[in-house]
């Protein structure tokens, strides 16, 4: 049952991402994918180092994944972050703020740096 729910969540996320990318791909100059995709410098750990679990979410027992779309420019800087699917409790804002603190290796197309949209899931789990 849990695997079915995970599969349904993933399919819903991909549909949202595809729709969002298709609507804005031509107008904003950011590629939905590139030959070499951007990566956070220091890996995903570098993002998690900049995210603190919001007290409101801890107290309410909020857990889950925040799905974000990160707009990365040719220099690897984050220009914008949009929440595609949030979980509330301050987690959405914490994810956005943490991602904005991290530099990325730029995406490349044909060996040249390009602007890319990158979708990322950010996990919030109480321990």
58: CATH? 3.30.2420.10
- DSSP letter for 1, please: -
Residues written for the chain = 127
Lowest-pLDDT choice from 21-25, 87-91, 96-100: 21-25
- Helix %, strand %, coil % of the chain (to 5): 40, 30, 30
Burial class (CB in 10 A: 0-12, 13-18, 19+), 55: exposed
Please give the tally of structural domains in the chain. Answer: 1
Q: Where are the beta strands (DSSP E) in 26-106?
A: 39-40, 64-72, 78-85, 104-105
* 9 — pLDDT class (breaks 50, 70, 90): low
Contact 76, 105 (CB under 8 A): yes
pLDDT at 1: 56
Q: Where in the sequence is the domain holding 75, given as residue range(s)?
A: 2-124
State the average pLDDT over residues 26-30: 72
* 127 — pLDDT class (breaks 50, 70, 90): confident
pTM of the shown model: 0.77
């Amino acid at each position: 049952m849990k695997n079915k729910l995970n599969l349904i969540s993933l399919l819903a996320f991909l549909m949202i991402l595809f729709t969002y990318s298709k609507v804005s791909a031509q107008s904003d100059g950011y590629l939905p994918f590139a030959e070499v995709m951007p990566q956070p410098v220091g890996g995903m750990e570098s993002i998690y180092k900049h995210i603190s679990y919001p007290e409101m979410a801890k107290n309410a027992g909020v857990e889950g994944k925040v799905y974000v779309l990160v707009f990365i420019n040719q220099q690897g800087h984050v220009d914008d972050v949009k929440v595609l699917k949030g979980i509330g409790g301050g987690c959405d804002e914490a994810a956005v703020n943490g991602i904005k603190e991290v530099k990325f290796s730029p995406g490349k197309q044909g060996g040249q740096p390009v602007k890319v949209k990158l979708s990322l899931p950010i996990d919030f789990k109480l321990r």
